[in-house]
Amino acid sequence: MNAFPGRQPIRGDSLIIWIDDAMLSVKGAITCQGIVEAGQGYAVLTLPDADPEQRRALERCRTYGFELYLDGRQIYSSPALTLSGTSRTGDGSLVVKGSP
């Protein structure tokens, strides 16, 4: 289950994410997708932006990994990732981009 995510979005309803030395839990509409830019693969997470402290922790982290769940069942587990950047969507969702 640690394969890199494909180009088709994987949708879940909860996420456990390890950042540096902490663990966060996120609930809501979550999407994970693999993209390739300039020959480099990235995992892109789109998260609801409900908790400002979680958002700041994600924006400051250097490394992270996550497990994505749907209806209580794990559907994806990432490898260790290095943060490449964060951004926002028009609706305020947080986008986190990282590479293995």
Q: Region 81-91: what's the mean pLDDT? A: 90
> What is the reported pLDDT for 3?
59
Q: What is the rounded CA–CA span in Å between residue 19 and residue 34? A: 19
- Note the pLDDT tens digit of each residue in 23-45: 999 999 999 999 998 888 899 99
Q: Answer yes or no: are the C-beta atoms of 43 and 4 closer than 8 Å.
A: yes
pTM (2 d.p.): 0.86
Query: In the chain, what are the domain boundaries?
Result: 10-99
Homologous superfamily (CATH) of 10-99 is Electron Transport, Fmn-binding Protein; Chain A (2.30.110.10)
Pick the closest to residue 70 from 20, 18, 27, 14 (CA basis): 14
